[in-house]
Amino acid sequence: MLHLLHQREVGTDRPLALQTAQSSRRAYSLEISKDFDVQKIHTSGITSLDVDSTENRYLLSGSADGIVCVHDMENHNDVPKAEYPCVSTIGRSNRYRHKHSVETVKWYPFDNGMFLTSGTDKVLKVWDANVLKTADEFAFSGVVYSHDMSSLASSRCLVAVSTQSSQIKLIDLKTGSATHSLRGHTKAVYSVQWSSRDEHILASGSADSRVLMWDVRMAKGSLFILDQHNGETASNASSGINTAHDGKVNAIRFLPDGLHLMTFGTDDRLHLWDASRGRHMNVNYGRIDNASRRSVRLSSSDGCRPPLAYVPTDSNIYVFDIFSGLRTSILRGHYTQVNACYFHADRQELYSGANDRNILIWTPVTDKAFERQLQEKSEDQSAKNFTSRTAATADAWSSDSD
């Protein structure tokens, strides 16, 4: 560490090298946070988490009974232990709330005055975060599994919505109507995500085992289909339909650099793809149990070398080195199925939500000398109070004499 600091000071290394080294070290040593906690508001399983990208401060969480909460995650540096408070809730009494479960919550990418939620009541709602009322609502024909807005396209406000029907609809927030729909899948689409590199590219994974890449400017259809065997036929059917997984595709996620895509399916496999050509990178992660019927959220570390993927499986989260496929660690802490995880890139913390109504914070285990000192200082202060209290109530009678 001192060596890296010296190299940065002298100029031998780029400044980014020190930042990458330190954030990698922190990201590799995640454990359940003993000191920080999230105020417990949810009374039902948590399905989705998101942190706003403008201030990196507010955690938005949606649960299975339609409740959406915003927690303020600002880290007060002098306090050794804290509980992050909930600043606003869309609870049961709110007139505009979702009637059934909320499947996806996402902040508006460009400021945190607005967020979008969608759920099993087949509606996508656009909320004003300060007033907690819906600014707009869009109804669909099937359950909405996922929606996404591109954080790169600042001139257009297109929301891609994936539903139980096989078409992906694109909603324009400025005009308030559906612009066009993307046809190509044959069954329910579980997840969509815009590319983090190109503002026109969209990837979608569906129950028909396929993952399609779209360019929204093209009218005719998908760009290409991801094929797990890269063209070789190894399945039983001789007609070789290209499938990305042998089961339903539950989750897709672009890596932050936009060059690679991870997909997770109910065949218990995680696959890594080259996003520009759709080639399977053939990284073997082993068998990862996936019994989830809904879409789950994967997460990946940002700014770390080598990059890590956080994959929720049953009640644990597996941490994989993305390019070599080795499992670095298992994060155990939840009691039931983990639905969502989110890696906070600035603090190297992981937030995870599960069906046991908990949002857990996983922080890097660092040198605890400063926290210990703070704790000792606060203990000294409370010890002084204790002695003064007992002096006032001390028993002055002697007990020997009869």
Partner 1 sequence: MSRKRSLMPDVYRTRKRVCSGPQNSEASNQDSESLDNDEWENDDNHNENSNFPSDTKTALLYLKNLFPMDKFEGRLPPIILKHQIYGIIKNRTLVDKDVADMRNSGEIRLFKLGSEASEFCIVFTEDYKSHVLRFTSDLSIGKAVIDKYLTTVVTNCQDICMNKQKMTHDFHFKDEEVTQLVKAGVLTVRDVGSWWLAIPSAGLYMKSFIRGRKAVLTMIRKSKYKEILQAELEVRKLPKVARLGMTYHIHDIIGADLVECVSTSSGQLLRLQE
**Nearest to partner 1 of 25, 200 (CB atom):** 25
Q: Amino acid letter at 37?
A: D
Q: What is the largest CA-CA distance in the chain?
A: 104
Least separation in angstroms between residue 235's CB and partner 1 is 9
Measure CA 71 to chain center.
15
Least separation in angstroms between residue 240's CB and partner 1 is 10
Q: Give the C-alpha distances (Å, rounded to integers) separating 134 from 6, 113, 116, 224, 352.
A: 53, 12, 9, 37, 26
Least separation in angstroms between residue 142's CB and partner 1 is 31
**Nearest to partner 1 of 13, 37 (CB atom):** 13
Query: What is d(CA 263, CA 311) in angstroms, rounded to the nearest whole number?
Result: 10
Query: What is d(CA 264, CA 250) in angstroms, rounded to the nearest whole number?
Result: 6
The full length of the chain comes to 402
Query: What is d(CA 12, CA 188) in angstroms, rounded to the nearest whole number?
Result: 53
**Nearest to partner 1 of 247, 258 (CB atom):** 247
3-class SS of residue 162: strand
**Nearest to partner 1 of 43, 324 (CB atom):** 324
**Nearest to partner 1 of 24, 118 (CB atom):** 24
Chain residues binding partner 1 by CB under 8 A are: 1, 21, 24-25, 28-29, 232-234, 236-238, 246, 282-287, 304-306, 323-326, 328-329, 365, 367, 369
**Nearest to partner 1 of 367, 402 (CB atom):** 367
DSSP state of 167: P
Least separation in angstroms between residue 391's CB and partner 1 is 39
- Tell me whether residue 159 is exposed, middle or buried, using C-beta atoms within 10 angstroms of its C-beta: 0 to 12, 13 to 18, 19 or more: buried
